[in-house]
Amino acid sequence: MTALWHDARGEWEQAHNVAQSREGDQPYDRLHAYLHRKEGDRFNANYWYKRAKTSFFDGSLAEEWETLVRQ
């Protein structure tokens, strides 16, 4: 996924733009949640986890990134 490539390069804004471009699509809403968690905005992250029909990720950001890559 292009957004994860941007995220790995430290390009949060570009990754966020990709997530926003497919709002309503579960994998992208899940990505959106991760990005807001990484940003430190737990409230917004929780909103996107709910939209993606998943729970808040309890592991590290690196573990969540790996999970998203595998999905």
pLDDT in the model for residue 71: 86
The total number of structural domains in the chain stands at 1
- What's the domain range around 6? 2-70
For residue 71, with 0-12 CB atoms within 10 Å meaning exposed, 13-18 middle and 19 or more buried, which class applies? exposed
What is the model's pTM? 0.94
Query: For the chain, how many residues are written?
Result: 71
| Of 19, 15, 24, 17, nearest in space to 53 by CA | 24
DSSP secondary structure letter of residue 55: P
pLDDT tens digits along 14-45? 999 999 999 999 999 999 999 999 999 999 99
C-alpha 7 chain-centroid distance: 9
